[in-house]
Structure 1
Amino acid sequence: MLELGRTCRLVGISRVVETLESYCHGPNANRGRYLGKKELPADALYGINTVRALENFPLTGRTIAALPQFVPALVMIKEAAALANLEIGALSAQKAEAIVEACQEIRTGKYDVHLIVDALEGSGGTSSNMNLNEVIANLAARLAGKPAGDYTFVHPNDHVNLGQSTNDVIPTAIKLAVFRVSEGTSLALMQLAAAFSEKKIQHSQTLRLGRTCLQDAVPMLFGQTFGGYQAVLERHAKYVEQLRRQLLVVPLGGTAVGTGLNSRPGYKRAIFQHLSALICQEIKPAADPFDGMQNLDACARLSAEVRHSANSLWKIANDLMVLSSGPVAAVGEIALPAIQAGSSIMPGKVNPVVPIAVCQAAFAISGNDAAVAMACQQGLLEINCYGMLVCDRLIDFIILLQRSATILRERCVRSLTVDEERCQQNLLASTGLAAALVPEFGYANVAAIVRAAHDEHRSFLEIAIERGLLGQNDVHSLMRRAADVSRAE
């Protein structure tokens, strides 16, 4: 197929648009489509609306076909609409069957090369909607033995888009695409939580020095540390799953502003029935169709929760870097797997590359969530024109979160080890037991020992034993009692 971009460079895009306008809508509409002096090949399934979008929106270089699950969702809406219009008598069986057959062909991905509108086209989704409408109509014509560009059989607007508007179709496709992409998010978070649960059990009796504000605090167990990570990840997994279910409430059937203008009686009920069957999920109409048309707050809430989840991964990754730091001249209480060389100049150096990568992903997710929040807020009057940005960014960073959780689990957490001897050394050398002695000896007396240990460059335990606050044999049992949460329950 002669590439459209190459043809545009040869003859100029203004000539392309002018000539396509003439051939698609003028007296020669059914005789073929041409680009200047170059004939548009018969297997080019896009039309004038798509070409205009190519001229107007050369933004990201990513097409709508590159948005995971977006085109499949949009195609299923078109297929459900054809079935609904057939059911209510708005489409003949021949036209409806041709549209359905074309949709099923497109769902295989074979025609993605014709879905070439930029992912951030600035028309509120009209260009994306029409790109697909044109491809379906031309493919339906070809399947019926007619040339592409012959819209006498199936027309992009009159038949493929029957009962629809960009304003209800695109937000619905966005929600369904995000729903499908986010399907593995909760699972990825739960699998990471399970990896920490294994470490929790493995180190349920391993004492370590808890730290607050990066300073020595009190004794605790490494199992408690890992259990905290497990708990927050399970909570995020639950919230993500709850929020993604809200995306199954869609504004389909509202057409332009929510009134359902130009759709026929029975259409809305029928399209929801057929779409639910195609998606294998119960798709529900918005309780208030005008609210459904105007607002993308369900996307904003899911976006925020994905950011919260990424922030928790960020926090955990930072903790792993601190706990593994050194390993000789810093904390060094855990060892992360050495999966690659850490330096081109320092032999044997190993860096916490996976936690660093997870942090970078979290930075990106935070920025994308800000973009989604602004786009969702910016809806004006009856519709939100910025849905394609929401779709592009939200899908992108949902996948980023899933991959972050997966590599953190597979490439880091599973194989990390705890240096129990180092944990004990750090605990015994610290003032970690000071707080445990306060109830018996008073804050001022214990604080005096802490100051003496600092001034004399000696350990707190050494001076506490020397002054008779505790015996040598009491240290281990006192550390255990300090880490025992059951005492406070």
Structure 2
Amino acid sequence: MNNRAKAEMRTERDYVGVVDIPYGKLYGVNSVRGVDNLTVSPLSIAHYPEFRVAFAQCKWAAALANRDNDVVTPEQCDAISLACQEVIEGKFDDSLIVDLLEGSGGTSTNMNFNEVIANRAQQILGHVAGSYDVIHPNDHVNRSQSTNDVYPAALKIATYAMLGPLIAEVEKLAAQFDSKATEFADVLHLGRTCLQDAQPMRLGQLFGGYASLSQRLAEELTAVRDKLRTLPLGGTAIGTGFGAPAGYRSAVYKHLSDIAGVDYAAPTNSFDAMQNMDVFSRVSGELRTCAASIAKIASDLTILSSGPVGGLGELRLPEAQAGSSIMPGKVNPVLPMAMIQLSFAIIGNDVAVTQAVQYGELEINHFEPVVSSRVFDSITLLTNGIRRFTQKCVAGITADVARNEQHLMDSMAVATALVPKLGYARVSKLARQSVAEGRPLLTILDESDLLVRDDTLSEIDKASYPVFGEHG
């Protein structure tokens, strides 16, 4: 390294040795060790803004609680608080360099935040970054905390924040399906079971079912989101609270709730809160269920829009883009296909979360980074995927009314509608005749004089609505 380059570096020492750090960066020796030893993915801890914000909120609340309990000075608290606010604003993302998937049980992540906040607080007070003579990463920024309580707390806070926009997108999808249910309320449709002709229904009823499912998914996500408001802060290393003053716990939750605008609370049992991450099994399970359920709808739309000549062709999806590099004019259902594909990724993420939750050991779970990585990924995929699916696909769906009605009238499903009028045995005989002769049942009925066509259509119309009157 030449003299000019050396002049642009500051040095920090730990028990392993000395490291050089660019003057413009606020991380320290622990962050460098974490990067050198544990970088395995392309994403840093600054990649998801909600995670960066959550960690800084915890450090800010801790500083205020420590001031209240006279373990940091008001001057130190003010400097740390201001530094945390600047971290929240994203000013130092280039110094949050540790890999999101680092394998130190979160220690490298916690120390990266501690060092950045400490060094910025040093600068605010007119001191040199890296000297830590007034604000130390461990003694002051990390005071009354441990990686073991602050990391899972930040993970919960970030997940809570990220779930809000996802729930909003699922609710928008439900509203869009509900709109389509109204639009298609009077369209006769061939209901199918096991991919075989079944019973008459209305196309609006199909979309009403999709709307109901989507709304239910939003409600379940909301319910599991609420479980994230209980945090392990104050437990320090293993749940005893060792190293924190007696009044710290109540103070830190008050300040955190004020800072974040969410009513966060202490756990009933600190040891349970430190040992177990089962809430993330529930969160990830709801994300998986949401993805799989919407993928089922996407698959339905793919089948119902198949064709346009050789398939069902009962729905028309918006033509988003060319579907083939070799077959001219082919347009694929790319948006439903994308929803199905991302469900595979989210199901895989859920397996990883399940394994991480299961393999926590004794007093803590040190596999939280993979939970962070996979849960954040699932929420991001779902939020972005559902938004595009709603706007670019579902909103533009139209129905081929004539084809829907033709498929119903030409099908064996007509027979089901006639059972109350003609009896099962007689309708069964007519249905077998229809299959044997390859002719529509309506034609055979016209020839038999059993029912005039208007009466047959009336029975089909009645059969397409449930007896309990639910049309949507």
Query: Normalising by structure 2, what TM-score?
Result: 0.94
Q: Is the 8 A contact 2:232 2:274 kept in 1?
A: yes
Partner of 1:180: 161
1:478 and 2:467 matched: no
Distance 1:25 1:409, change over 3 A: closer
1:65 aligns with 46
Per-residue deviation, 1:427: 0.8
Residue deviations 1:45-68 (CA, integer Å, cap 9, x gap): 212211111121121021111133
Amino acid at match of 1:290: F
Equivalent of 1:164 in 121, 134, 145: 145
Aligned to 2:279: 298
Deviations 1:12-38 (CA, angstroms, capped at 9, x unpaired):
xxxx9xx96xx4358xxxxxx964xxx
Residues 188 and 405 in structure 1, CA contact (< 8 A), matched pair in contact too? yes
Shift of 1:475: 2.4
When residues 232 and 70 of structure 1 are mapped into structure 2, their CA distance, relative to the original with a 3 A threshold, is same
Deviation at 1:455, TM superposition (A): 1.6
Matched residue, 2:113: 132
- Kindly provide the CA deviation profile for residues 192-228 of structure 1, in whole angstroms up to 9, marking residues without a partner as x: 1111111111111111100111111110001101100
State the one-letter code of the partner of 2:259.
L
Give 1:419 shift: 0.7
Q: Distance in 1 between matches of 2:305 and 2:127?
A: 68
Q: Deviations over 1:135-194 (max 9, x none)?
A: 111111222222221112111111111000000000000000001111112211111111
Which of 206, 211, 226 aligns to 2:192? It is: 211
Equivalent of 1:343 in 324, 339, 343: 324
What is the letter of the counterpart of residue 71 of structure 1? R
Between the aligned partners of 1:241 and 1:472, the Cα distance in structure 2 is: 50
Inter-partner Cα distance in structure 1 for 2:128 and 2:49: 30
Q: How many residues align?
A: 465
Aligned equivalent of 2:231: 250
Query: How large is the RMSD of aligned CA atoms in angstroms?
Result: 2.1
Distance 1:75 1:359 in 2: 36
Q: What amino acid does structure 1 have at the position aligned with 2:13?
A: C
Q: Which amino acid aligns with 1:216?
A: D
Q: Which amino acid aligns with 1:484?
A: Y
Stretches of structure 2 lacking an aligned partner (at least 5 in a row): none
Deviates more, 1:247-256 or 1:107-116: 107-116
TM-superposed deviation, 1:324: 0.6
Partner of 1:56: 37
User: Which amino acid in structure 2 is aligned with residue 140 of structure 1?
Assistant: A
Aligned to 2:245: 264
Q: Distance in 2 between matches of 1:487 and 1:104?
A: 57
Residues 386-443 of structure 1 show CA distances to partners (whole Å, capped at 9, x for unaligned) of: 1111111111111211122211111011111111111111111101111222334443
User: What is the rounded CA distance, in whole Å, between the counterparts of 1:68 and 1:445 in structure 2?
Assistant: 67
Query: How many Å apart are 1:345 and its aligned residue?
Result: 2.4
Q: Which shifted more, 408-417 or 443-452?
A: 443-452
Give the Cα–Cα distance (whole angstroms) in 1 for the partners of residues 116 and 311 of structure 2: 62
**Structure 2 equivalent of residue 11 of structure 1:** none
| Aligned amino acid, residue 402 of structure 2 | E
Deviation per CA, 1:436-458: give whole Å up to 9, x if none: 22334443332222222222111
2: CA distance between counterparts of 1:266 and 1:382? 23
* Rounded Cα–Cα distance in structure 2 between residues aligned with 1:25 and 1:322: 62
The partner residue of 2:403 within 396, 399, 422 is 422
Q: Secondary structure at the match of 2:115?
A: helix
1:54 touches 1:118 (CA, 8 Å); kept in 2? yes
Contact 1:43 1:148 in 2 (8 A): no
SS at match of 1:66: coil
8 Å contact from structure 1 (residues 24, 149) kept in 2: no
1:352 paired with 2:333, answer yes
- Checking the alignment, whether the CA contact within 8 Å between 2:98 and 2:109 is kept in structure 1 is yes
Q: Does 1:361 align with 2:350?
A: no
**Aligned match of 2:13 in 9, 12, 24?**
24
- 2:380 aligned with 1:391, yes or no? no
Instruction: Name the structure 2 match of 1:222.
Output: 203
Secondary structure at 2:413 match in 1: coil
Give the equivalent residue in structure 2 for 1:29. none
Match of 1:10 in 2: none
Cα distance in 2, alignment partners of residues 104 and 356 from structure 1: 42
Q: Which runs of 4+ in 1 moved over 6 A?
A: none
SS of equivalent residue, structure 2 residue 185? coil
Q: Distance in 1 between matches of 2:286 and 2:162?
A: 15
> Higher mean Cα deviation, 341-350 or 248-257?
341-350
Distance 1:414 1:488, change over 3 A: closer
Give, as a single letter, the amino acid of the residue that structure 2 aligns with 1:362.
S
Q: Secondary structure at the match of 1:332?
A: coil
| Counterpart position of 2:132 | 151
Q: Give 1:123's aligned residue.
A: 104
Q: Distance in 2 between matches of 1:120 and 1:25?
A: 23
Distance in 1, Cα, partners of 2:396 & 2:43: 37
Q: Show the counterpart of 2:385.
A: 404
Give, as a single letter, the amino acid of the residue that structure 2 aligns with 1:107: I
Which runs of structure 2 are paired with 1:6-25 in the superposition (5 Å)? 23-25=12-14
Q: Which amino acid aligns with 1:325?
A: S
User: Is 1:444 matched with 2:433?
Assistant: no
Gaps of 5+ in 1: 8-15, 27-32
**Identical amino acids, percent of aligned pairs:** 45
Secondary structure class of the residue paired with 1:40: strand
2: CA distance between counterparts of 1:44 and 1:439? Answer: 79
Q: TM-score when scaled to structure 1? A: 0.91
Is residue 336–residue 417 contact of structure 1 (8 Å, CA) maintained in 2? yes
